Structure 1
């Protein structure tokens, strides 16, 4: 019969939650550092926050609403649709690859002022090569599980 105190050496892993371990630690550390910065530098930060609020509502300075809110919408859609697509391709990283290609291309189009044929080709190549390279390095070389 095995001793009861040896049971503390048994390791069980909840694979449904194990991937959230380090993001929770990093998020907690970053929020803590943000609080330390805000508390220690509040007098320096407060005027900038007030000015940013006035710029955001359009009462001061030039503000590109299309690019700002477009970036927020694209980023939100990127993460949401990556989760949806990961149900189609579970544990392969293809949802990361497909959504990253689309996200990089659309974000690049959003920030281009004058689109030419040459620039369009560069945007397409960048949108195909950069995410594919990141996917290969993360998924194949480092064996990191991607959505």
Structure 2
């Protein structure tokens, strides 16, 4: 079996896997196979072709994977719960490093943990930083007058 045939098979398999998954899991190996085929065309030794395939594949993974994850992220489902992020809330049950507490925001009670495991006493105010699963992450604030939808 010739090395040209091997690189062609690697390229075809990478393209088929990529077409099936559409998650950019094998395209880099296809690019590496193309580089190795070019090396074969120019008469490079098989060892150098393997090195070329490996280097091109690894470089492509490290250069393009972060960009692909950033721009092709299709599994993110936005919900209307995201609207509570940045809102001020009233702590109704004390939040400690060891125990989740509870906060009230926009008329709804949420289980809560604090950013950096700070203790926030019941009756104090906090700002919702993010949502993790079924609870919110909050940071303590000094509330000034004004209604924030509590």
Of structures 1 and 2, the one scoring higher in RCO (CA 8 A, sep 6+) is: 1
Structure showing the higher helix proportion among its residues: 1
Structure showing the higher strand proportion among its residues: 2
Which of the pair has more CA radius of gyration?
2
**Global fold match (TM > 0.5):** no
Q: TM-score, normalised by structure 1?
A: 0.31
